[in-house]
Homo-oligomer: A and B are copies of this chain.
């Protein structure tokens, strides 16, 4: 999990560079999508052969921009994740979803 110290470090990084002005929710959503695609690029031609160090960096980039968006919108990570997990648990009942990757609306 990300410690408060790390969260502070991310905030200080942005503040020191006066980059809050660029951190609109829309720009951060773009940034998360851009970094997610760079992470995906680690697996572009193979699912099994990938550069672990590169994956770590790109995943970290996604997480940092997610942190920025949480801050920008004043959201509590634990709260929004738990709210979504409550929805997911209801949407994918264990007995129906077990061992199946189908989308919930196709689960019979």
Contacts and interface: CB of A to CB of B under 8 A. Distances in A.
A9 to B, nearest CB: 6
A interface, over-half SS? helix
A46 B2 contact: no
A98 B1 contact: no
The range of chain A's interface size is 35 or more
Contacts of A30: 30, 40, 43-44
B77 A1 contact: yes
A4 interface: yes
Contact of A101 (B16, B19, B52): B19
Interface of A: 1-4, 6-7, 9-10, 13, 16-19, 21-22, 24-27, 29-48, 50, 52, 55-57, 59-64, 66, 69-70, 73, 75, 77-78, 80-85, 87-89, 92, 94, 97-99, 101
